[in-house]
């Protein structure tokens, strides 16, 4: 009887403990866990004291983080491993030299360092594992980023379902109020605040101000947060001494949200000499506040949200009908904010904090009554920086469309041009939106996160992933975080599949609206054009060319590219039919073909982009283009193209400060790198050979010291060569290029007394080309004897005809005749011989002599394997300021080709062309008629975007009294 009583009492006590466990588990303080574990066996709960062994020892594994190089966190720290091992559990830790907490600390805590973790029933991590590392029918816990049906992570979810894995997602572990109970939030706030203070130091410096913030580094540069706090305090001490520049005015920081993210940021902010004020006081302190402190305000919903019809805020009504509300943040708070620390996520149908239009208004330059000096400038506008700790792209900060990274933490958002560029300089708002901030303080973040996760580890650990979910006695916190189990989405998350289906349906509709581009030509420049445009899967490209092998290579390389093998010049009807099927045409054909292409675009009302000059023949089509309502963009390459853009950027900035342009010279050339200029021309071909040759016989007009200089066509241009010594080591020469004077009006520089645009070559090029002109080789007129339908000629036979001797002639006779034609110039004769123009090699079939020479030289002067080309551009702009002093602006662009990639010429012509085409497709360029890149809305985005492709220029000035 006594034994039966003890059994009854023990059973009742264990039942009481069982019920208590599940009702109190979510309320346990950090670091505490139940001292009794449980398991499910044949429908009965069998309990064991933590110091006793279970029927089967449960195993937990901490997996290695391997998705991001900066991910040095772990979900559990050694102190948590120690508690688990003392309770009788086995803990495996995958080895990782990247993990911030050393392996020996886990070993000391009782963990086992082991690569194979297949023994574990529960595998925990911070970020998602690669699909190929998943182990079937296990329990996994990590941030999966699948609850919004994020497209990038759907393959992971599919694999989890296929392998019947039970997935616990930390993001969905919430209490009865819906608040997350497992998160890194505080440390995101701490790291984010450190980063933006560092960023402010850089931004202030770019604006002309040294500040105490310059001595604060990025969060990951500190061993722990204590060191960071000390750095912030040191900066704060300098601020308290009055060392902030007076012209920047009082600094104000606005914190959105009241959760752990915001609190973590405020914790770091408190290390500064700060004063918190109410939001309605921000306007006053931003104007008259004490420069020996900084001001902060914490923004809640009631501070900026109002109902649209009556201007009131009702929290209950807002939760039910957020679409009826609007935010006054843009008018009541943002104009008085130096730095916004955003810690809130945006939900559909709720008001945003800031839109692009808001940013445009906030970036309007501020004029102060106090004035400023050149050495002590005012800030261009009040709102300098946004730290979006939420990293919620396209969320409450509408124009935050891409997260930054720990490697590249800052970017500038220019609202006028709606572009983002990786810099702390230029116009706009400094943005920082790193999506893995806690990884910068990995040890403290791991311990903090582990304290929050630890109370729920046991119940996840004591279940098998292969067992039915219904049989598990999980607390509500854990059960509601199960995304998938036993090969299916759980009931709460079945909506994910519906989201996926909706998106796929929308994408299928969108596929029918794909943008279609016709690219004419498959030569040197086509590579970067195709590479850039095919980044957008919604763009389909057709390439038409006579070069069959090049077409085959392109279609193999790009899945959304189809090819048409044809000579578009000789098949006008087929060209017209092709144009009609597309939304935009890019012509990389010789400039002489562009009027024909433009006429087909006009007939079919299709937009056109070219990199070539806007020739008189193209200008004649202006009215027809406008009548068709299409956009025809010309001069969108290097020269012309980038030269215009760099010039106009400088000229427009000069005009903004009241300066006038007194002189403008621009020289540009595509050259072999110096080490590969080993031939008589000192030249190799990286773009249209025929275009290079024809440029040498063009006429030219330019303005020099108020006098117009005219150079006739036919080769006189080569006698107008000038040494160029701005890069003395390159031994360059330059000659005028076409009509420079015509740019005075479009550039808006009628005040200039000198206006010259020219071509750069290595010294000796012009002299050699002059020999070809003397011989009649640079002749674009039709030459029927070279037609593909006539018997082939040899170069020896053609040269005999050109120098007036009867073929066949002895080699020495021909040589002497050519030498005489060259006016006894030995270097010119050597070039003719070097190219084999006196030999028996057949002349390529062509429409003209220069066409045949171009084909021949393309074969003789290509870039060999491992050889690279080079682009050199030099703009010199003379300015006269209102004060009377003169300034010379020098803009240098030097780009080298890639040994195994694109040539410099291909990059500097192809990328601007492709970017302009994409801007037309996306509606960023919507002007109708003939367009060249002379306006800020065109050149601004292109200059920023080519920088991202490695096309970077430098500027410097010389001031003259």
- For residue 137, what are its two tokens? 């029918």
Q: Could you give the C-alpha distances from 778 to 286, 574, 693, 698, 781, in angstroms and in order?
A: 69, 31, 7, 11, 9
Task: Answer whether 354's CB lies under 8 Å from 390's CB.
Answer: no
Buried/exposed code over 164-186 (b: 16+ C-beta within 10 A; e: otherwise): bbbbbbbbbbbeeeeebebbbbb
Beta strand 166-169 pairing with 139-142: parallel
H-type alpha helices, 558-661: 572-580, 594-604, 616-619, 622-628, 642-656
What are residue 890's DSSP bridge partners? 876, 956
Question: From the candidates 540, 639, 643, 869, which is the catalytic residue?
Answer: 639
d(CA 911, CA 895): 13
| Alpha-carbon radius of gyration of the chain | 35
Q: Could you give the C-alpha distances from 293 to 200, 239, 252, 297, in angstroms and in order?
A: 16, 6, 10, 14
Task: Answer whether 359's CB lies under 8 Å from 415's CB.
Answer: yes
User: How far does Cα 883 stand from its chain's mean position?
Assistant: 40
User: How far does Cα 841 stand from its chain's mean position?
Assistant: 49
Whats the size of the chain, residue-wise?
961
Active site residue 639: yes
Helix or strand (DSSP H, E) at 500: helix 495-511
Q: 216's torsion region: left (phi>0), alpha (psi -120 to 50) or beta?
A: beta
Residue 560 CB-density burial (10 A; 0-12 exposed, 13-18 middle, 19+ buried): middle
User: How far does Cα 621 stand from its chain's mean position?
Assistant: 37
How large is the greatest C-alpha to C-alpha distance in the chain, in angstroms? 135
d(CA 407, CA 398): 23
| Structure-derived torsion over alpha carbons of residues 760, 826, 832, 819, reported in degrees to the nearest 10 | 130
Which residues are known to be catalytic?
639
């Amino acid at each position: 009887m006594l034994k039966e009583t003890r059994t009854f009492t023990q059973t009742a006590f264990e039942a009481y403990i069982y019920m208590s466990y599940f009702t109190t588990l979510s309320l346990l303080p950090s670091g505490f866990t139940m001292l009794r574990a449980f398991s499910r066996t044949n429908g009965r709960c069998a309990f064991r004291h933590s110091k006793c062994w279970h029927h089967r020892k449960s195993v937990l594994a901490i997996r290695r983080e391997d998705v991001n190089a900066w991910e040095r966190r772990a979900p559990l720290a050694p102190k948590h491993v120690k508690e688990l091992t003392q309770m009788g559990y086995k803990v495996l830790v995958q080895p990782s030299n990247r993990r911030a907490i050393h392996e020996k600390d886990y070993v000391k805590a009782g963990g086992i360092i082991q690569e194979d973790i297949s023994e574990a029933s529960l595998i925990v991590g911070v970020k998602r594992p690669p699909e190929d590392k998943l182990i079937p029918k296990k329990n996994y816990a990590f941030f999966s980023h699948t609850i919004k049906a994020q497209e990038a992570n759907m393959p992971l979810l599919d694999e989890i379902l296929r392998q019947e894995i039970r997935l616990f997602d930390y993001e969905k572990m919430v209490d009865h109020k819906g608040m997350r109970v497992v998160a890194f939030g505080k440390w995101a706030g701490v790291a984010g605040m450190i980063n933006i203070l560092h960023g402010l130091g850089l931004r202030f410096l770019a604006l002309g101000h040294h500040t105490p913030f310059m001595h604060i580094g990025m969060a990951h540069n500190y061993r722990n947060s204590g060191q960071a706090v000390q750095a912030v305090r040191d900066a704060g001490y300098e601020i308290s001494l009055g060392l902030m520049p007076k012209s920047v005015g009082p600094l104000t920081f606005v914190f959105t949200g009241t959760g752990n993210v915001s609190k973590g940021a405020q914790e770091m902010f408190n290390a500064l000499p700060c004063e918190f004020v109410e939001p309605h006081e921000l306007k006053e302190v931003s104007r008259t506040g004490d420069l020996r402190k900084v001001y902060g305000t914490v923004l809640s919903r009631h501070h900026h949200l109002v109902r649209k019809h009556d201007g009131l805020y009702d929290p209950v009504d807002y939760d039910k009908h957020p679409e009826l509300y609007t935010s006054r943040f843009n008018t009541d708070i943002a104009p008085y904010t130096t730095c916004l620390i955003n810690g809130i996520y945006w939900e559909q149908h709720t008001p945003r904090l800031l839109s692009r239009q808001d940013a445009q208004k906030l970036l309007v330059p501020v004029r102060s009554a106090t004035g400023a000096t050149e050495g002590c400038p005012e800030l261009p506008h009040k709102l300098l920086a946004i730290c979006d700790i939420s990293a919620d792209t396209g969320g409450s900060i509408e124009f935050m469309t891409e997260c930054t990274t720990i490697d590249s933490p800052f970017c500038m958002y220019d609202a006028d041009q709606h572009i983002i560029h990786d810099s702390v300089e230029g116009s706009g708002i400094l943005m920082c939106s790193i999506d893995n901030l806690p990884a910068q303080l990995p040890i403290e973040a791991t311990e903090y996160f582990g304290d929050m996760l630890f109370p729920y580890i046991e119940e996840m650990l004591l279940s098998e992933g292969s067992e039915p979910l219904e049989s598990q006695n999980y607390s509500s916190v854990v059960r509601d975080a199960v995304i998938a189990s036993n090969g299916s989405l759980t009931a709460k998350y079945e909506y994910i599949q519906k989201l996926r289906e909706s998106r796929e349906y929308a994408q299928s509709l969108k596929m029918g609206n794909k943008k279609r581009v016709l690219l004419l030509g498959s030569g040197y420049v086509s590579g970067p054009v195709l590479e850039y445009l095919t980044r957008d899967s919604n763009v389909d490209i057709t390439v038409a060319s006579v070069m069959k092998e090049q077409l085959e290579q392109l279609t193999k390389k790009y899945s959304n590219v189809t090819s048409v093998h044809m000579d578009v010049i000789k098949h006008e009807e087929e060209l017209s039919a092709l144009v009609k099927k597309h939304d935009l045409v890019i012509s990389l054909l010789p400039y002489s073909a562009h009027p024909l292409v433009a006429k087909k675009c006009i007939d079919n009302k299709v937009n056109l982009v070219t990199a070539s000059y806007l020739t008189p023949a193209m200008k004649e089509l202006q009215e027809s283009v406008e009548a068709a309502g299409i956009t025809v963009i010309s001069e969108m390459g290097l020269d012309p193209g980038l030269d215009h853009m760099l010039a106009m950027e400088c000229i427009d900035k000069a005009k903004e400060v009241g300066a006038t342009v007194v002189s403008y010279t621009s020289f540009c050339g595509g050259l072999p790198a110096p080490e590969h200029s080993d031939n008589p021309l000192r030249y190799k071909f990286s773009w249209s050979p025929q275009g290079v040759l024809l440029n040498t016989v063009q006429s030219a007009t330019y303005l020099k010291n108020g006098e117009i200089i005219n150079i006739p066509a036919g080769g006189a241009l080569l006698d107008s060569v000038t040494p160029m010594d701005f890069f003395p080591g390159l031994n360059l020469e330059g000659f005028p290029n076409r009509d420079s004077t015509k740019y005075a009006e479009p550039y808006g520089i009628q005040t200039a007394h000198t206006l010259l645009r020219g071509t750069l070559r290595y010294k000796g090029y012009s002299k050699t080309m002059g020999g070809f002109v003397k011989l009649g080789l640079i002749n674009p007129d039709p030459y029927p004897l070279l037609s593909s339908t006539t018997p082939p000629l040899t170069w020896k036979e053609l040269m005999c005809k050109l120098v007036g001797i009867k073929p066949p002639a002895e080699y020495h006779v021909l040589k002497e005749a050519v030498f005489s034609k060259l006016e006894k110039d030995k270097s010119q004769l050597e070039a003719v011989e070097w190219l084999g123009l006196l030999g028996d090699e057949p002349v390529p079939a062509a429409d003209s002599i220069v066409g045949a020479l171009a084909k021949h030289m393309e074969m003789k002067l290509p870039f060999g394997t491992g050889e690279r080309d080079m682009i050199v551009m030099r703009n010199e702009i003379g300015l006269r300021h209102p004060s009377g002093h003169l300034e010379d602006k020098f803009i240098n662009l030097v780009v080298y080709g890639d040994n195994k990639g694109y040539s410099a010429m291909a990059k500097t012509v192809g990328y601007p062309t492709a970017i302009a085409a994409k801007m037309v497709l996306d509606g960023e360029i919507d002007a109708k008629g003939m367009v060249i890149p002379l306006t800020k809305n065109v050149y601004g985005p292109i200059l920023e975007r080519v920088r991202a492709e490695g096309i970077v220029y430098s500027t410097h000035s010389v001031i003259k009294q």
